[in-house]
Chains A and B, each alone.
Chain A
Amino acid sequence: MIHVEKLTKYYGNLCAVDQIDLDISKGEITGLLGPNGAGKTTTMRMITGYLLPTSGDINIKDLSTQDDMLAIKRLIGYLPESAPLYHNMLVFDYLDYVARVRGISGQARMARIQELADLCGLNDIMHKAIGELSKGLKQRVGLAHAMMNDPEILVLDEPTSGLDPNQIVEIRDIIRRIGKEKTIILSTHILSEAEATCDRIVIIDHGCIVADGSTEALKKASGQEKTIDISLVNADIDSVRARLGSIVGITDMEQIASTSADELRIRLCASGNDDIRRPVYQAIKETDWILVEFSQEGKSLEKIFRELTKEQ
């Protein structure tokens, strides 16, 4: 669907995007992650045709951005960061204008605007000026703008930034609803969001792709390390060390701060493919310790992100 090859963009001497290769297939929801200034927005702007690449090629459905930009723009719906809309226009007038520019005429235009108003929940605000709307509502108008011609590809730049938790859930629901049949590229700072909505995650740092794959694949690639936190009552650290130390697979054991004085909190680190939960539980069961907490955590996306993008 989208094929990007050796894409490079310089702003003066500053290299914003450095030889990126990316293939996105139909129906995929791809999340672009990266610290600020990593090149996510620049990449998206080049795919949507707002910026011209310094070098490299972008092909979308076998159309090249150099020769068929107008045809590509018809395929793509784009929502820039924080939805910069015309503040003095009414929501309805704005959508009507976008529909006209998108070449939807007559009866179809009204029907399409109504459809989008239902989908994005705009029915109550159709006759308000865009400048009066809250950020979340503006974002929804922006989404309606992006989806006007029912595009095959949606590019969303930080669709949930600056919204409150309720609005984030609303926007995420809309994205998930439309994501079933569309190819979506979205950028975000919120890692849990990428994990929840995206099929595939691409981490960009300093204009280069540093990781690419599904969340599971990323976790697998960055090692099998897991940690188990247990809280015990009626136990002391030395006897715990003696008892659990013999279990195969545990690489490290340390006491961590506990909220209550009579609870002993211990973090066990495990590596490899061994599932150590069973032997640990068995070992505890044989004693008179009381187990009040037992939780296993895989390596989080946050940790992977930090490892890949930390400043040298």
Chain B
Amino acid sequence: MSQAINIFRKELKDYFLSPIAYIVICIFLLVTGWFFYATFFYYSQASMRNFFNLLPIIFSFVIPAVTMRLFSEELHAGSYEMLLTLPVRLGDVIIGKFLAGVAFVAIMLVPTLSYAVCISFIGDLDWGPIIGGYTGAILLGGAFCAVGIFASSMTRNQIIAFIVGMVICFTLTLIDKMLFFFPASMVEVVGYLGAGFHFENISKGIIDTRDIVYFFSVIFIALYGSHLVLQEKR
């Protein structure tokens, strides 16, 4: 486990060595800030519901961009070979990189706390949905990071990793809004698979174990999938 922490430290530091981290954070804040405040004053409600409603869609393309390099870059440059011949387990490598991705998402979310603070000055803000929303955002971010890592482990091309990751994340986000395409017998199952559905539950401030189990299942399945893919390469 200490090896996972070493990898985590290195990967997180790596993010902030290159300008990409700052660009991604800026784009994220611009897009969320614009869409949130553009409609905020029409509703004259002191809540961040609109912000959290947007989050799954925005995460669907921002997070694959954050995670696309984690394995693809190493596979492309060959540094993966040097990494794996150090005394580390493959599992430690995957967990370390996953945690670095989640930490990056958390750092990206920190500036948005200022929205909550601003709103609390101008209205009577209910903090329950805010806490739930951020908890959900981290869980959703974790699930999408795991999916992004899975996409990244499959190819040495970062663009392909990004597109594959984005397609899977968008599918998870939108599938519960496309239920009218499915036969009635499948509606419930497919609806349960949607990340958007579970995220909405949590962001209402209701923390239900079923939703938490869902996110941890996605994380586990995607990371285990990466492990299988990378093990197969040996």
Contacts and interface: CB of A to CB of B under 8 A. Distances in A.
Same complex origin of A and B: yes
Interface of A: 45, 48-52, 70, 73-74, 76, 78, 80, 82, 84-89, 93, 97-98, 100-103, 142, 145
Contacts of A102: 86-87
Contacts of B86: 73, 98, 101-102
Nearest to A142: B82
B6 A101 contact: yes
Given A52-B234, A89-B17, A97-B10, A84 B79 contact: yes
B177 interface: no
Contact of A101 (B18, B79, B87): B87
B220 to A, nearest CB: 23
Contact of A51 (B78, B88, B89, B234): B234
B18 A88 contact: yes
B3 A49 contact: no
Nearest to A70: B87
A247 to B, nearest CB: 57
B6 A50 contact: no
A143 B32 CA distance: 47
Main secondary structure of the interface of B (DSSP, over half): helix
A62 to B, nearest CB: 18
A86 B78 CA distance: 9
28 contacts: A45-B81, A48-B85, A49-B85, A50-B81, A50-B84, A70-B87, A73-B85, A73-B87, A73-B88, A74-B87, A76-B85, A78-B85, A80-B81, A80-B82, A80-B85, A82-B78, A84-B78, A84-B82, A86-B14, A86-B77, A86-B79, A88-B17, A101-B3, A101-B6, A101-B87, A101-B88, A102-B87, A103-B87
Contacts of B9: 97, 100
Contacts of A45: 81
Interface string B223-234: 000000000001
Contacts of B13: 93
B contact residues, range: 20 to 34
A84 B74 CA distance: 9
Given A70-B87, A73-B85, A145-B82, 18 more contacts: A49-B85, A50-B85, A52-B234, A73-B87, A73-B88, A80-B81, A80-B85, A84-B79, A84-B81, A85-B79, A88-B14, A88-B17, A89-B17, A97-B9, A101-B3, A101-B87, A101-B88, A142-B82
B153 to A, nearest CB: 16
A78 B82 contact: yes
Contact of B6 (A48, A78, A97): A97
Interface in B51-109: 77-79, 81-82, 84-89
Contacts of A145: 82
B90 to A, nearest CB: 10
Contacts of A76: 85
Nearest to A82: B78
Nearest to B17: A88
Contact of B234 (A50, A82, A84, A89): A50
A98 B10 CA distance: 10
A-B pairs, top 7 by smallest CB distance, nearest first, are A84-B78, A73-B87, A78-B85, A48-B85, A84-B79, A100-B6, A52-B234
Contacts of A51: 234
A85 B17 contact: no
B82 A89 contact: no
Contacts of A85: 79, 82
Nearest to A53: B234
Contacts of A70: 87, 89
A99 to B, nearest CB: 10
A198 B47 CA distance: 73
Nearest to B76: A84
Nearest to A130: B79
Contacts of B85: 48-50, 73, 76, 78, 80
Nearest to A52: B234
Contacts of A50: 81, 84-85, 234
A43 to B, nearest CB: 14
Contacts of A78: 82, 85
B74 to A, nearest CB: 8
A310 to B, nearest CB: 31
Contacts of B77: 84, 86-87
Contacts of B6: 97, 100-101
Nearest to A46: B234
Contacts of A49: 84-85
Contacts of B7: 101
B62 to A, nearest CB: 21
B210 to A, nearest CB: 38
Contact of B14 (A73, A89, A100, A103): A89
Contacts of A82: 78
A97 B13 CA distance: 11
Interface centre among A84, A89, A93, A142 (most CB of B within 10 A): A84
A51 B3 CA distance: 20
A145 B3 CA distance: 17
